[in-house]
Amino acid sequence: MIRRAKRRVFLSSLYIGSEETELIEALRTALETNPSLQVRVHLDLNRSTRPGPKSTALLLLPLLQAYPDRVHVSMFRSPKLKGIMAKLVPPRYNEGWGTWHPKIYGADDEVLISGANLNESYFTNRQDRYIHLSSQPSIAQYCLSFLQVSESFSYKLLASQDSKEKYQLAWPDSKTHPHHIERKAHNALTTLHNTYRLSSTFRTSTAPDTSSQDGGEPDVLIFPIIQAGQFDIREEERVLSLLFDELPGGKCPSDSKEIPYNDPLIDLTTGYFGLYRPYRDLVLGSQLACRIIASSPKANGFYGSSGISGRLPEGYTLLEQRFINAVRKSGREWPDDATESSGSGVQLREWERDGWTYHAKGIWVRPTPTSTPYITLFGSTNLNSRSANLDTELSFLLVTSSNTLRQRLAEEVEGLRAHTRPWHGGDRKVRIGTKALVALIGGML
């Protein structure tokens, strides 16, 4: 995509891995080849400026020095960490109070939307989702506008003029303290969405589909969803609540063996499973069949880490145990003897693949268990409390009548489920120290 770009490249990620020299060289080549090309990069400040020689800021520095008028790097810092705490909490741990989390990779009029960061593991052995939208100028412009609006409440990374410092972080607004950007960010992002909602920007078509109706009529709708709880923007919560309200609920109890379930089937996954309480209540309060994929402890990205982070896979096991207990208490557990196409209730499976980690996230909705998905939620959200309240997230809801696209979505789900097994978390012990850790930082998981 970068090699094809003529006018603009815009990238948003938590960070860029220090090994991604090929990416940096691709950007450099594109800038050299196309004198009018503009490059915008938006990252999380705390994650991208970790001390040491491997920081993202240092990786981008040569591009900033060579093309100061054409390379624009912004770094978002969560305002949740304020005052004396902002000085006391050390690097890496300060990321617990919220990060910049949207994953947008755009070039000219094409966009790749993902939950993946720009790091070697995602390109090799870390499972994620990728939705590529080609020749979509309106959606590409929206994503670029989202980043440009967010620049107004983010630091700018600049090459330093001081020989003692390699780079500097410049704050763009002298009237707003960087620890108190809540109102500014809320107004900027809501104004952006209010503008776009007045247009039919996000109606588009798939490739010619001989089974679709109405010839060239749009067969895909895409809705952007911002969730930024720290700015009192909770679009994701409203969308999921509306989705569960509008879907026809299951009409037979989960323990019925006489009447086959033939209502909507929801597939849901996240690499860091600990459903945000309102989302959990939606799942448990409906009669919809819901199949959930969580990461096994070995497939968790924190597995084998040193220090506190090494306890996190065990912490997620605790959250899974609590969830399953709530499922059983509500009478919504998927019957053990039910087939994949006839069961109802809530099913939890765990993903594990030798040598791989799991980072996929999203929702798929089928009108019946034997049909293909016609709705999917994709993007950066992990559907947990952290995504809802601390991180800044950008996701998209896609609705389609295209049989071709629906089949691709079905294949995506089945590809993920191919590496799953029944959930074994009930057999795992959770140490008392981990329980105490979850009690202390549970909202950050």
Torsion of Cα atoms, 109 then 114 then 117 then 121, to 10°: -120
Report how far residue 274's alpha carbon sits from residue 322's, in angstroms, rounded to the nearest whole number: 9
The token pair that represents 12 in the structure block = 């948003």
First to last CA, the chain: 33
| Positive or negative: CA dihedral 208, 214, 216, 219 | negative
Report how far residue 97's alpha carbon sits from residue 236's, in angstroms, rounded to the nearest whole number: 20
What separation in angstroms does the CA of 393 have from each of 41, 100, 114, 396?
A: 16, 7, 12, 10
Catalytic site residue 103? Answer: yes
Q: How many C-beta neighbours within 10 Å does residue 18 have? A: 16
Residue corresponding to tokens 């809705």: 223
**Catalytically annotated residue among 42, 72, 80, 101:** 101
| Helices assigned H by DSSP within 116-165 | 120-124, 137-150
What separation in angstroms does the CA of 332 have from each of 14, 241, 242, 377?
A: 36, 19, 21, 23
Beta strand residue intervals within 90-140, DSSP E: 104-107, 110-114, 126-127, 130-133
Report how far residue 256's alpha carbon sits from residue 236's, in angstroms, rounded to the nearest whole number: 33
Beta-carbon contacts of residue 296 (< 8 Å; ≥ 6 apart) = 350, 351, 352, 358, 421, 424
Q: Strand 104-107: give its sheet, edge to edge.
A: 130-133, 110-114, 104-107, 8-12, 38-44, 71-76, 155-159, 167-170
Report how far residue 245's alpha carbon sits from residue 282's, in angstroms, rounded to the nearest whole number: 9
**Catalytically annotated residue among 44, 72, 108, 263:** 108
3-state class of 222 per DSSP?
Answer: strand
**Catalytically annotated residue among 42, 72, 80, 103:** 103
Catalytic site residue 87? Answer: no
User: If you count them, how many residues does the chain have?
Assistant: 445
Catalytic site residue 108? Answer: yes
Residues forming a β-bridge with 42: 12, 74
Report how far residue 431's alpha carbon sits from residue 243's, in angstroms, rounded to the nearest whole number: 38
Nearest residue to 12 (alpha-carbon basis) of 83, 124, 101: 101
Please list the active-site residues.
101, 103, 108
